[in-house]
């Protein structure tokens, strides 16, 4: 049975506008420019690492304050779909895992492992940690993302057929289909090939 590994922001967490607001608020740029920064950061994970390192210094304390009390930051329909999948499930994200756990709330139990930037600074290191520490078989990992940067980074360690992207995340279907076959850009987690 394959292991399902999911990105958080844009895949499970409806956090795009929170990230845009954080960049705008903490850098002093206008929201339109902050939106471009967030979208462009997802094109190349090196720039995304810069963004998350910058946000990392403020992310846990300040961003946590921004999201406290909000109940609209999960794609609940997607969490329900994921819950129906019997495979082992993990989250591998550039966000702080503590923020992901806060947003997930009682849905944390859907995932056996939640690795954030505080545990693995890149997706490649995260995959290696899942293999070495948690016993995942690299060949049996199916990774689901929403950004071109993840596709490019993960294709260095996984076969392209192991990488899927969601149509509802940070990057559009049209953009994602330039990097993945259209059958691997999904509209529902039920479309995943996990056999």
Of 127, 180, 176, the C-alpha closest to 7 is: 127
Instruction: Report the pLDDT value the prediction gives residue 68, as an integer from 0 to 100.
Output: 84
Q: Which residues of the chain have pLDDT under 50?
A: 47
Tens of pLDDT, residues 52-92: 565 555 556 777 788 888 889 999 999 999 999 999 999 99
154: which 2 tokens? Answer: 């993960």
SS3 47: helix
Look up tokens 């304390």; give the residue: 61
Residue 7 — φ and ψ, nearest 5°?
-70, 160
Instruction: Report the pLDDT value the prediction gives residue 118, as an integer from 0 to 100.
Output: 85
All domains in the chain, ordered by first residue: 3-14+74-191 (3.40.50.1000), 16-67 (no CATH)
Instruction: Report the pLDDT value the prediction gives residue 47, as an integer from 0 to 100.
Output: 47
Look up tokens 């550039």; give the residue: 94
């Amino acid at each position: 049975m394959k292991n399902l590994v999911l990105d958080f922001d844009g895949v499970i967490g409806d956090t795009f506008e929170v990230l845009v607001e954080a960049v705008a608020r903490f850098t002093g740029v206008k929201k339109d420019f902050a939106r471009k920064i967030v979208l462009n950061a997802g094109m190349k994970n090196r720039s995304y690492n810069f963004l998350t390192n910058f946000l990392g210094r403020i992310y846990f304390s300040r961003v946590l304050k921004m999201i406290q009390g909000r109940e609209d930051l999960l794609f609940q329909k997607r969490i329900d779909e994921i819950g129906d999948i019997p495979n082992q499930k993990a989250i591998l994200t550039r966000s702080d895992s503590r923020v992901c756990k806060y947003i997930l709330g009682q849905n944390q139990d859907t995932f056996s492992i939640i690795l954030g930037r505080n545990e693995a600074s890149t997706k490649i290191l995260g995959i290696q940690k899942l293999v070495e520490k948690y016993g995942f078989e690299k060949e049996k990992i199916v990774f689901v993302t929403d950004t071109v940067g993840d596709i490019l980074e993960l294709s260095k360690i996984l076969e392209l057929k192991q990488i899927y992207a969601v149509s509802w995340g940070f990057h559009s279907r049209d953009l994602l289909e330039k990097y993945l076959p259209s059958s691997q850009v999904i509209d529902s987690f039920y479309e995943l090939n996990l056999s």
